[in-house]
Amino acid sequence: ATPTALMVGTGRGAQLGILIKGPEVLESTRRVDTVVLDKTGTVTTGQMTLYDVYATDDTDEKEVLRYAGALEHSSEHPIARAIAQGAAERTGELPVPESFLALPGRGVEGVVEGHEVFVGRGVELPAALATAKEAAEAEGRTAVVVAWDGTARGVLTVADAVKETSAEAVSLLRGLGLRPVLLTGDNRAVAESVAAKVGIAAEDVHAEVLPEDKVDVVKRLQAEGRSVAMVGDGVNDAAALATADLGLAMGTGTDAAIEASDLTLVRGDLRVAADAIRLSRRTLATIK
């Protein structure tokens, strides 16, 4: 390849807000036909807000908030931030947990005021809470279970907004002949609600995927003969970003995602992913 043309491509990339790890990166975009989009923080803002609080009949809603908030205070997950902040606003000062453990893709657990508390997903719920959870998810909110001493006591719902630019970005990527796919650890109902808002078909939604399994979704698409670009922002996206034929990190995301990627979209605007692919195709055409 002509180094000069590649350098020009790299310089133009910087103007557009695309940081390119090396000029050779542009070559890997040539065949890309599928673009896997992480949901939280990539298609959505990642800034979550706490909405509803549900508790079982014999549980005080304030206790649900205090215990959940106390644990989530120690986690950096966007869901955790929403819960810790919302709980502090609604109940005042939060207790300091005696122990704390993050369970990536699942939640957090620890001891608060002598109780074994869990906040996250994958817990059997009594009927009243199950109904509340399903209703929230149908509206696109993520429902998080709060349990202590072995019993589910409450459900908290959180949600973040789809970025204003995401629907346009998906249609731009489609216009370049790419097939957009949504990938998330979040619940299927929530994922499909976000997918519908940006124009991704339900059949192209991979939901409830654990952090360690995100990379397998990329590998499976590659095994089907597809050339895959992946866009993500989280620590949980790093392996998938590194495995994809082209990894694109949100500049607003974590260092782990940026380090694992070939390109960084400086402003975290998904439309720039389309610019990046268009630019590299054009640069390569110049070389030919």
> Hey, which residues between 63 and 82 contact ligand ADP (CB under 6 A)?
72, 75, 77, 79-80
The site for ligand ADP, by CB under 6 A, has a size of 22
In the annotation, is 233 catalytic? no
106 lies in the site for ligand ADP, by CB under 6 A? yes
Tokens of 84: 């810790």
Site string for ligand ADP, 172-211 (x = CB under 6 A): ------------xxx------------------------x
86 lies in the site for Mg ion, by CB under 5 A? no
H-helix segments, 139-268: 166-175, 188-198, 214-223, 238-243, 255-260
Distances (CA, A) of 205 to 165, 190, 217, 247, 282: 19, 11, 11, 19, 30
The full DSSP string for 92-145 is -SPPPPSEEEEETTTEEEEEETTEEEEEES-----HHHHHHHHHHHHTTPEEEE
Residue with tokens 């957090």: 108
Question: Which one, 129 or 218, has the nearer CB to Mg ion?
Answer: 218
Query: Could you say which of 82, 144, 249, 260 contacts ligand ADP (CB under 6 A)?
Result: 144
> Hey, which residues between 163 and 202 contact Mg ion (CB under 5 A)?
none
123 lies in the site for ligand ADP, by CB under 6 A? no
Question: Which one, 107 or 110, has the nearer CB to ligand ADP?
Answer: 107
Nearest to 183 by CA among 204, 157, 160: 204
Query: Could you say which of 9, 13, 97, 120 contacts ligand ADP (CB under 6 A)?
Result: 120
Tokens of 121: 């997903």
107 lies in the site for ligand ADP, by CB under 6 A? yes
85 lies in the site for ligand ADP, by CB under 6 A? no
The full DSSP string for 246-260 is EEEEETTS-HHHHHH
Residue type (1 letter), 7? M
160 lies in the site for Mg ion, by CB under 5 A? no
Instruction: Give the shortest CB-72-to-ligand ADP separation in angstroms.
Output: 6
* Catalytic residue IDs: 38
Contacts with Mg ion by CB under 5 A lie at 38, 40-41, 233-234
